[in-house]
Amino acid sequence: MGARLRTYRMKKGLSLQKLADAVGASKAHIYELETGRSANPSLTLLTALSRELGVSIKTLVGESGEISESDKPELEVLFRDLRELPKDALELIQGLTKQLREQKKDVGKPDN
């Protein structure tokens, strides 16, 4: 997991300290995870890291296997976030999604 953690952190342009601050961990602990000196992060820390880095926990820990073109790890993060929202917020997001789909359909239509 350490190499993947470092790779995704670097892709995001985050220093060890910035990532540690964002997830509520110490810089030393993130460094230990990246170097393999610590190999058992808590689920809470894994969740925070995956959210901050924009990848699924499975991807972060190397259990995602082959990723096909249709698989989007960022959607797993989004779905996890959606599960925590109240019903009224989900209804709002559904309405926004519907509007975005309709706008996408209208893009190719000629003006009347």
Mean pLDDT in each 10-residue stretch from start to end of the chain (112 residues)?
A: 91 95 96 90 93 90 58 69 85 89 73 55
The pLDDT of residue 101? 82
User: CB of 73 within 8 A of CB of 67?
Assistant: yes
User: CB of 20 within 8 A of CB of 30?
Assistant: yes
Q: Of the candidates 72, 64, 71, 52, which has an alpha carbon nearest to the alpha carbon of residue 11?
A: 52
* Alpha carbons 23 and 58: distance in angstroms, whole number: 18
Q: Class for domain 2-64+72-107, per CATH?
A: mainly alpha
* Alpha carbons 5 and 46: distance in angstroms, whole number: 10
